[in-house]
Every structure is written in structure tokens, then in C-alpha cells.
Amino acid sequence: MDLNDTDITNLQNYLQKKFGNPGLTIRKRRVADSVEVYLNGEAIGTIYKDNDEGEVSYDFNMSILDIDLEEA
């Protein structure tokens, strides 16, 4: 299901408030079924929109590489 500009704005505002970080931003992708989540300009994940029998939800997928854990 496509994410529109209103979805993107609402998701970005929600994430910024939830995590207390204005550095969280959302950008459109080449494919319309998802958007990318950035933290201070670095891509950290993807959000997909799902509509199941009229109930809309958003799935945030964040991959963490093992080499990223070693740097922490």
C-alpha cells in the first residue's frame, strides 16, 4: 500500500516525538510501498504500510549488522 505525503509527515512527527530526536527523518523511496528512516542523515530502516480489513498499521524494519555492534 502506498505511503502518501500525509503518512510521511505523521510518521516523522510521531518518531521524532517518541524518541525525542528531531534528527529522525523519513524520505520517499523509488518504490511507493515503503519509506526510509534516517537518523542524522544515515539510513537506519524502512517503514511499510499495511491495510488489513480497514485497519492501517506501519511496520518499522531496522537491520543491525554485527559489525555495527562491534563499534558500539
Domain ranges of the chain: 5-66
The 10s digit of each residue's pLDDT in 24-63 is 999 999 988 899 999 999 999 999 999 999 999 999 999 9
When pLDDT is cut at 50, 70 and 90, the band that residue 68 belongs to is confident
Grid cell 534516517 — which residue? 38
Element (H, E) at 11: helix 5-19
pTM metric for this prediction: 0.87
In three-state secondary structure terms, 17 is helix
For residues 63 and 55, is the Cβ–Cβ distance under 8 A?
no
- What the block records as the C-alpha cell of 41 is 542523515
